Amino acid sequence: MRIGLIGCGKQAPKHLAGLRKAGLTDFIVADRDPALARALAEREKVAWTETADAVFADPQVTAVDLCTPTPTHAGLVRAAIAAGKDFFCEKPLCETAAEARDLTALAEKNGRIGMVGYIYRFAPAFEQAQRILDGATASGTSAALGKLSVATMRIGGRGSAALWKHRRDSGGGAISEMLVHMLDLAIWYFGPIKKVEVMARELYRPSRVINGVNEAVDAEDFVIVRCETQSGVPVVIEADLLTPAFTQILEVQGDNGTLVGSIQSDWPQFVFVIQEAGGFKPGRTDLKTDSGDMFQGQMSAFIRAVEQRRPPDRCSLQDSVHVLEALELMRH
């Protein structure tokens, strides 16, 4: 199976590594800047071409991996479907929920497999949390924690990796870059979101040094939202592009206990229950997970879906529709 990777920026080497660990060896890469494609190809020892059109026209390419800025996603997905290619797309799938629904319907009509890169669903700590919270998407209740009262999530990073990630017209900002990951986890754990209240949306750092150049930026770098899921679980999410040391935390409170999780190895991970339930004895149970390789898990899931001709069991196009519907609630 040959994979065509389009977009040769920061994420591309991670995707190639994940695909290789999933067992693939045949790749061709492209970028709107041919020099970037050539440089990546030389580093990774893979084939390259000057245009995305050449990737879509390559009869040996089974599927494409799109690692480009958000505004380009919809057009590239449509081109992939028209060329008879399955596709993996970095998050978010596109810019609007209506567009996401159209792309989902188009992929289904043409028998194409699509998947979107909400990679935290493949973090062992969050996979474990999903098992503990199993059933909450329908009832807002966990076997271990009981009736869920509230979930809080925080994700923070330093930003400044690329200028487009801090410009509104190119789909940047703390919402698209950071908050969407936690929003997707909230949907995975507690079901679709029916109401969103934006509590804070700020730009605290209007200029940034990016690639050695002081740049003016206009996309938000701090946001807090309160969401209500269809299962009745309130979720508060804080996201920023201000945190020098990456930070990510999940806490879920229920009437019988607490779940704390993180992908950070130095952060406590535990379940505390009042009454024995869900396989946990009263008191605190420390949770242990290995760090895992999220990119290997993600790309392996995509390859399985392509080989089996079945939608992936997570990070599906329909999952992305739910995320974009929630994002649109923030704008109204």
What are the tens digits of pLDDT across the range 251-308?
Answer: 999 999 999 999 998 899 999 999 999 999 999 999 988 878 999 999 999 999 999 9
Distance CA 230, CA 190 (A): 8
Cβ atoms of 140 and 148 within 8 Å: the answer is: yes
CA distances from 57 to 24, 51, 64, 79 (A): 20, 10, 11, 10
pLDDT along the chain (332 residues), means of 10: 96 96 96 96 97 97 96 97 98 94 98 96 95 91 97 97 92 92 96 96 97 96 97 97 96 98 92 97 94 91 96 95 94 72
Q: What is the pLDDT of residue 265?
A: 85
Report the DSSP beta bridge partners of residue 270: 260, 286
Residue length of the chain: 332
DSSP 59-109: TTEEEEEE-S-GGGHHHHHHHHHHTT-EEEEESSS-S-HHHHHHHHHHHHH
Cβ atoms of 65 and 88 within 8 Å: the answer is: yes
Distance CA 245, CA 266 (A): 12
For residue 314, give every residue at least 6 positions away whose Cβ sits within 8 Å of its Cβ, in sequence order, or none: 118, 121, 122, 188, 301
Cis? peptide before 92, omega within 30° of 0? yes
What are the tens digits of pLDDT across the range 1-23?
Answer: 999 999 999 899 999 999 999 99
Class in CATH terms, 124-291: alpha beta
Q: What is the pTM of this model?
A: 0.91
Q: Does domain 2-119+296-314 fall into CATH 3.40.50.720? A: yes
Helices (H), 110-202: 124-132, 136-139, 174, 180-190
Secondary structure element (H or E) that encloses residue 195, with its range = strand 193-202
Cβ atoms of 172 and 256 within 8 Å: the answer is: no
Domain chopping of the chain, boundaries: 2-119+296-314, 124-291
